[in-house]
Amino acid sequence: MGNGKHANDIYGDLDDPKSAEVRPATPAATVVLLRDTDEGPEVLMLRKNSRIAFGGMWVFPGGRIDPGDSPADGDKDMAARNAAAREAAEEAGVDLDPAAFTWFAHWTPPPSTPVRFATWFFAARATDQAIDIDGGEIEDHRWIRPADALAKHAEGEIDLVPPTWVTLHHVSLYRPVDALLAELGSHEPRFYETRAVKRADGVRVALWAGDAGYDDWDADREGSRHRLVMPAHGFTFENDVVDY
């Protein structure tokens, strides 16, 4: 791109730490469905219809949390689980037990993001049910090894938003699925409150807690790293803070 921004950098204008105006984020939930193969775990990816939000992106099943997803006691965790299961049924035609999901992360985009979803990320072992995409919001699907998805993104073959990219990086590190789910469930869910900033060389960067530049919104500050660097030619994850 002419302005040096990566095509999958969804974060809009750079964040202003002094701004008091923050666009509310819509609660949402997604589920990473996993299955074992001889070559390692595969994840279900869905391609969004190009005419809707995040159109053309490859994503995990998910969507906004509807009022009907909330149980009578108003439990937010269960509402998010129900939403992820409902969306998986609507988008991929699979029936899942939301109580069996492993909650491992929550992502909040920066205030600059044009379309903001605060999203619960769950993981679950896939059932033997055939995938039946809805043909409306979802145009295509594939089972793919996480590392292969990242490679295709690097080659420009598929589009991935930053939270999906980082999640694929995380789940690519473990096999089989039982070991992966055990790792995801071995710690408290990680919260990613993204800050979108720019280095002195003009490269845009997504920062997360623990990065040396996070508190001061300074991508050039030396020290610890927990960030996604997003030049036009590809993403690079820099991390020496979180044990993935």
The whole-chain average pLDDT of the chain stands at: 93
Measured CA distances, 212 to 66, 139, 140 (Å): 37, 40, 40
Mean pLDDT of 10-37: 85
CATH number at residue 42: 3.90.79.10
Within-domain flag for 162: yes
Is the pLDDT at 119 greater than 50, yes or no?
yes
How much is the pLDDT for 51? 63
Q: Give the CA dihedral 201, 160, 165, 207, nearest 10 degrees.
A: 40
Q: Give the CA dihedral 129, 181, 105, 211, nearest 10 degrees.
A: -140
Within-domain flag for 102: yes
Within-domain flag for 216: no
Beta bridge partners of 44: 143
Full-prediction pTM beyond 0.85?
yes
CA angle 237, 243, 147 (to 5 degrees): 50
- For the chain, what is the domain count? 1
Within-domain flag for 224: no
CB 104 within 8 A of CB 16: no
How much is the pLDDT for 104? 98
Full residue range of the structural domain in which residue 186 is found: 26-193
Task: List all residues 6 or more positions away from 86 whose beta carbon is below 8 Å from its beta carbon.
Answer: 66, 69
Within-domain flag for 81: yes
Within-domain flag for 1: no
Is the pLDDT at 112 greater than 90, yes or no?
no
**What confidence tens digit (pLDDT) does each residue in 28-80 have?**
999 999 999 999 999 999 999 876 666 789 999 999 999 999 999 999 999 99
Beta bridge partners of 29: 63, 120
- Report percent pLDDT > 90 for the chain: 84
Mean pLDDT of 89-102: 97
Q: Around Cβ 164, how many Cβ atoms within 10 Å?
A: 24
Task: List all residues 6 or more positions away from 78 whose beta carbon is below 8 Å from its beta carbon.
Answer: 70, 71, 98
**What confidence tens digit (pLDDT) does each residue in 180-231 have?**
999 999 999 999 999 999 999 999 999 999 999 999 999 999 999 999 999 9
User: Would you call the peptide bond into 98 cis, given omega within 30 degrees of 0 as the criterion?
Assistant: no
How much is the pLDDT for 19? 67
CA distance linking residue 25 with residue 118, whole number of Å: 5
CA distance linking residue 107 with residue 3, whole number of Å: 26
**What confidence tens digit (pLDDT) does each residue in 139-190 have?**
999 999 999 999 999 999 999 999 999 999 999 999 999 999 999 999 999 9
- Joined together, the tokens standing for residue 5 give 């921004």
Within-domain flag for 44: yes
Beta bridge partners of 190: 105
Task: Give the pLDDT band of residue 3 (cuts 50, 70, 90).
Answer: low
Is the pLDDT at 2 greater than 60, yes or no?
no
CA distance linking residue 24 with residue 207, whole number of Å: 20
Within-domain flag for 136: yes
